[in-house]
Amino acid sequence: MPRDHPEWINERRRELGDRIADLHTAAGHTKKSFCEATGLSRRTLQRIERGETDPRYSDLLRIAAALDTRISVLVD
């Protein structure tokens, strides 16, 4: 976890990661197929899903497109 963020930001980051993981599992994606669908590396997706990093806007766009949803569904 980044050391300079307050805990509430870390918690929201973990919530985002959990939501992405739940949605890609519900959509029937494996880790490999989700990586292929998003064009993101397995490591990047793992870090996002564990809440270890702030995803770039372009990453969120790719994830939302692969899940056939809007970014607002991911970050709500």
pLDDT digits (tens, 9 = 90+) for 18-71: 999 999 999 999 999 999 999 999 999 999 999 999 999 999 999 999 999 999
Q: What structural domains and CATH numbers belong to the chain? A: 7-75 (1.10.260.40)
31 — phi, psi (to 5°)? -60, -45
CB 75 within 8 A of CB 16: yes
pLDDT at 1: 45
Structure tokens at 40: 């993101």
Q: Indicate if the alpha-carbon torsion angle 36, 42, 47, 53 is positive or negative.
A: negative
